[in-house]
A = this chain, B = another copy of it.
Amino acid sequence: MPSDRSRRRIPDATVARLPVYLRILTEQAEEGVDSMSSDRLAELAGVNAAKVRKDLSYLGSYGTRGVGYEVAYLVYQIRRELGLTRDWPVVIVGAGNLGQALAGYGGFGERGFPVAGVVDIDPGKVGSVLAGVRVRHIDELPSIVQAKRVSIGVIATPSLAAQDAADHLVAAGVTSILNFAPVVLTVPRSVEVRKVDLAVELQILCYHEQRRGGGLHAVTTRSATA
Q: List residues of A whose CB falls within 8 A of some B CB.
A: 10, 15-16, 18-20, 22-24, 44-46, 81-84, 88, 90, 97-98, 100-102, 104-105, 107-108, 111, 113, 145-146, 149, 151-152, 173, 175-178, 182, 184, 192, 194, 196-214, 222, 225-226
Contact = CB atoms under 8 A, between A and B. Distances in A.
18 contacts: A10-B207, A16-B200, A19-B203, A20-B200, A83-B211, A97-B104, A111-B199, A111-B202, A145-B225, A146-B225, A149-B222, A152-B205, A152-B209, A173-B225, A176-B209, A178-B201, A192-B209, A194-B204
Contacts of A194: 201, 204-205
Contacts of A225: 145-146, 149, 173
Given A97-B105, A104-B97, A206 B83 contact: yes
A130 B167 CA distance: 33
A197 B111 CA distance: 12
A168 to B, nearest CB: 14
A9 to B, nearest CB: 8
Contacts of A199: 19, 23, 107-108, 111, 113
Nearest to A20: B200
Contacts of A214: 83
Contact of A105 (B10, B84, B98, B151): B98
Q: How many copies does the complex hold?
A: 2
B222 A202 contact: no
Interface core residue of A83, A100, A184 (most chain B CB under 10 Å): A83
A139 B208 CA distance: 27
Given A24-B184, A102-B198, 13 more contacts: A45-B184, A88-B209, A90-B202, A101-B101, A107-B199, A108-B198, A111-B203, A149-B222, A149-B225, A151-B209, A175-B209, A175-B212, A192-B205
A224 to B, nearest CB: 9
Contact of A46 (B45, B152, B184, B222): B184
Nearest to A192: B208
